Amino acid sequence: MPVSKGRKKANKRPTPPSHKPTAAAKKGPSPMWYVTLMFGLMAVGLVVIIANYIGLLPGGTSNTYLIGGLAAIGVGFSMTMNYR
């Protein structure tokens, strides 16, 4: 009885890219001011929310301060998407 041929094993290594990386892919690290602003916005937002909760801000507790603090935190977190 004839013996059947076995299957060829697949190449385990991926094929290299055929194009060279562009200048957009070679971005350097984020500048220090970007990192400082990112964490600063998150910290200021947290301080505003805590100060609103304690009642230290003028006008007493207000939803406007809460929304402003949450917006600052949200902008800080959205800046993390572009952090390198």
Predicted local confidence at residue 39, as pLDDT: 97
Residue 51 near residue 78 (C-beta atoms within 8 A):
no
Sole residue written with tokens 């937002």: 45
What's the CA gap between 55 and 59, in Å, rounded?
8
8 A C-beta contact, residue 27 and residue 84: yes
- What pLDDT, on a 0 to 100 scale, did the predictor assign at position 25? 63
pLDDT at 22: 67
pLDDT for 3: 79
Residue 29 is predicted with a pLDDT of 92
pLDDT-flagged residues of the chain (< 70): 11, 21-25
